[in-house]
């Protein structure tokens, strides 16, 4: 069995997430369908990281297990991308000398985009959350400092995830950058819970526009059993990168 790494990029607008679901258009489903037309023998495909409905991605990794060898990877990549739809492309493909444990992620980086203006955005509308109310960058950073100091993010995930009884412990970093009306929130961490990042963005924004005070934020963190606000729109979230300690090519 030969093992290949596929670096995948996609616009999440018309996908019901990355993980395959019967009768729904997913990243994994579309990619498997195209690979089945190009590969003559049996194969298996697994994504390293899952993304929710509507979430975009510049760098996800899919592991391809194939019974035969793909002899010309450059030509294969060209054929693959020619058949794939415009909203899904494979940026790289390379053969692995040895399989690696997908759970041993060093860290992942996500970016959330906000357009903060009373006027509608004319650019990048598919990739950001337009917020009319004035955001306080000072409050945004203060709230982020409190949030990123937490070790348990039970308050930031869904009730369905809580029911699975999986661990809700995480360690994350949050950074910001602002260019004119555009605000980028960068999340870095090894593990993220279901809908956690969109929920955290929603929480941070509510603090930054004055709907939730810092004291109320602290109470939410200590008392909520799961997230109770409306999550931030999926279209503003992008998976930027997944980093492993070392992958043997």
The tokens describing 161, both together, are 């995830």
In angstroms, rounded to a whole number, what is the distance separating the alpha carbons of residues 24 and 97?
A: 34
Backbone angles phi, psi at 188, to 5 degrees: -130, 130
In angstroms, rounded to a whole number, what is the distance separating the alpha carbons of residues 74 and 100?
A: 23
Backbone angles phi, psi at 140, to 5 degrees: -60, -45
String of b and e for 30-68 (b: at least 16 CB within 10 Å)? bbbebbeeebeeebebebbbebbebbbbebbbbbbebee
Is residue 160 among the annotated active site residues? Answer: no
| Non-local CB neighbours of 210 within 8 Å, separated by 6+ positions | 136, 139
In angstroms, rounded to a whole number, what is the distance separating the alpha carbons of residues 132 and 134?
A: 6
String of b and e for 164-187 (b: at least 16 CB within 10 Å)? eeeebebebebeeeeeeebbbbeb
Question: Tokens 């993220």 belong to which residue?
Answer: 192
Catalytic (active-site) positions: 52
């Amino acid at each position: 069995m030969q093992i290949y790494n596929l670096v995948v990029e996609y616009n999440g607008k018309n996908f019901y997430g990355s993980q395959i679901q019967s009768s729904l258009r997913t990243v994994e489903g579309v990619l498997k369908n195209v690979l089945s037309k190009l590969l003559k023998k049996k194969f298996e495909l697994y994504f390293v990281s899952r993304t929710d409905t509507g979430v975009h991605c510049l760098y996800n990794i899919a592991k391809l297990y194939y019974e035969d060898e793909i002899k010309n990877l450059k030509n294969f990549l060209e054929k693959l991308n020619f058949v794939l739809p415009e909203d899904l492309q494979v940026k790289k493909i390379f053969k692995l000398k040895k399989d690696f444990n997908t759970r041993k992620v060093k860290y992942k980086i996500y970016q959330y985009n906000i357009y903060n203006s009373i006027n509608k955005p004319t650019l990048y509308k598919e990739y950001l959350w337009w917020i009319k109310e004035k955001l306080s960058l000072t409050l945004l950073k203060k709230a982020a400092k409190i949030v990123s100091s937490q070790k348990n993010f039970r308050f930031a995930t869904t009730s369905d995830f809580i029911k699975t009884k999986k661990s809700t412990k995480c360690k994350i970093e949050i950074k910001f950058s602002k260019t004119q009306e555009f605000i980028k929130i960068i999340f870095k961490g090894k593990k993220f819970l279901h809908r956690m990042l969109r929920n955290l963005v929603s929480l941070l924004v509510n603090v930054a526009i004055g709907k939730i005070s810092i004291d109320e934020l602290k109470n939410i963190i200590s008392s909520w059993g799961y997230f109770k606000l409306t999550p931030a729109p999926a279209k503003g979230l992008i998976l930027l990168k997944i980093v492993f300690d070392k992958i043997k090519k």
